[in-house]
């Protein structure tokens, strides 16, 4: 059964499955998983980025690679879903919640920070990593050392991101926002001189810093904790618990440390390799 069913299929099979679903799932060890839970899936559509070096990027042949991709594959395998039963769906920052709400994705693994506001709309498992918001500037910019130095500077703005809010609303720092379509666009504008800084999760910046080499530098002055969760449909408690178990195993067997070193080691980022504190399910 797919984790994402069409409305017609659900209506047509609801009566037939009513008496059999609970028993069959209990036999699989997932007694409280519904037919739409990722814990009961044999195939998954996973929302991911297509343009984040080191995290999730799609090559010219349509193949996705990166830390987020390998995390998603590992979790899916622990859920019993083989790699050839995975379908990747490219999403932008602003498309992550709609993809889950509209049934276009069963899970979203896309540097998706868990926040109280987002928890009112979608569910989260994890985090699978706790990032920290940091800043990236041009390599020749030696005057910007921390978040306070952003005052009066041109800062990149991405639709759907909350990174700018943490600077403007929480830190009360006045900046000039420069809209961009994606973080790749931010980096191009930064290198081209049309903005002064890009600020978001350090793992995102690390990928671009490794790609851009000596043209940019990370300030390395983190000022927030950003728990990167795996987005699920709201109220999928069984799925959340199953994914959390998979994440725990990923850290305990050393896979998380290997993946972090493989994909982000070249940037100089020193990642945390202990199991993150989970947000809880339900």
Q: Would the pLDDT of 25 be above 50?
A: no
**What pLDDT does 214 receive?**
87
**What pLDDT does 279 receive?**
86
- pLDDT: which is higher, 213 or 128: 128
Position 35 confidence tier, pLDDT thresholds 50, 70, 90: low
- pLDDT: which is higher, 68 or 165: 68
Mean pLDDT of the chain: 87
Q: Is 28 helix (H, G, I), strand (E, B) or coil?
A: coil
Q: Would the pLDDT of 282 be above 60?
A: yes
| Percent of the chain clearing pLDDT 70 (strictly above) | 87
Q: Would the pLDDT of 238 be above 70?
A: yes
**What pLDDT does 161 receive?**
86
The full DSSP string for 69-127 is: HHHHHHHHHHTT--GGGEEEEE--GGGHHHHHHTTS-SEEEEEEE--HHHHTTSEEEEE
Pair of tokens at residue 258: 């290997």
pLDDT per position as a tens digit, 140-176? 999 999 999 999 999 999 988 889 989 999 999 999 9
Contacts 24+ apart (CB under 8 A), 257-262: 259/67, 259/70, 259/71, 260/67, 260/129, 262/67
Q: Please give the Cα distance from 75 to 228 (Å, whole number).
A: 14
**What pLDDT does 34 receive?**
52
Q: Would the pLDDT of 1 be above 50?
A: no
Pair of tokens at residue 171: 């830190």
**What pLDDT does 97 receive?**
96
- Name the strand (E) or helix (H) holding 11: helix 7-18
As a whole number, mean pLDDT of residues 39-61 equals 95
b (16+ CB within 10 A) / e for 39-64: bbbebbbbbbbbbbbbbbbbeeeeeb
Pair of tokens at residue 40: 């009961």
Q: Name which of 20-29, 122-131, 177-186 the model is least confident about.
A: 20-29
Domains belonging to the chain, first-starting first, are: 41-130+229-267 (3.40.190.10), 133-218 (3.40.190.10)
* φ and ψ at residue 259, rounded to 5 degrees: -70, -40
The one-character DSSP state at 168 is I
Using CB atoms within 10 Å of the CB of residue 126, give its burial: 0 to 12 exposed, 13 to 18 middle, 19+ buried: buried
The structure's pTM equals 0.78
**What pLDDT does 275 receive?**
93
Q: Name which of 6-15, 105-114, 241-250, 263-272 the model is least confident about.
A: 6-15
- pLDDT: which is higher, 86 or 33: 86
pLDDT per position as a tens digit, 178-224? 999 989 999 999 999 999 999 999 999 998 988 888 899 999 899 99
- Name the strand (E) or helix (H) holding 262: helix 255-264
């Amino acid at each position: 059964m797919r984790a994402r069913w069409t409305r017609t299929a659900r209506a047509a099979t609801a009566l037939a499955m009513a008496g059999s679903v609970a028993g069959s799932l209990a036999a699989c060890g997932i007694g409280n998983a519904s037919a739409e839970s990722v814990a009961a899936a044999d195939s998954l559509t996973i929302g991911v980025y297509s343009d984040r070096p080191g995290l999730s990027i799609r090559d010219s042949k349509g193949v996705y690679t990166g830390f987020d991709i390998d995390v998603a594959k590992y979790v899916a395998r622990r859920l019993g879903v083989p790699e050839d039963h995975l379908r990747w769906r490219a999403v932008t920052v602003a498309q992550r919640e709609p993809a889950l709400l509209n049934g276009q994705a069963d899970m979203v693994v896309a540097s998706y920070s868990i926040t109280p506001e987002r928890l009112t709309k979608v569910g989260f498992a994890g985090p699978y990593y706790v990032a920290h918001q940091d800043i990236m500037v041009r390599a020749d910019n030696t005057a910007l050392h921390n978040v306070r130095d952003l005052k009066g500077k041109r800062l990149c703005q991405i639709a759907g991101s909350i990174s700018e809010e943490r600077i403007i609303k929480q830190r009360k720092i006045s900046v000039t926002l420069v809209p961009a379509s994606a973080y790749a666009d931010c980096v191009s504008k930064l290198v081209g001189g049309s903005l002064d800084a890009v600020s978001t999760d350090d793992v995102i910046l690390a990928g671009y810093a490794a790609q851009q080499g000596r043209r940019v530098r990370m300030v390395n002055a983190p000022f927030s904790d950003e728990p990167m969760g795996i987005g699920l449909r709201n109220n999928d408690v069984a799925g959340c618990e199953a994914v959390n178990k998979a994440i725990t195993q990923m850290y305990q067997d050393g896979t998380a440390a290997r993946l972090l070193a493989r994909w982000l080691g070249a940037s100089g980022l020193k990642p945390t390799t202990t199991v993150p504190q989970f947000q809880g399910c339900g």
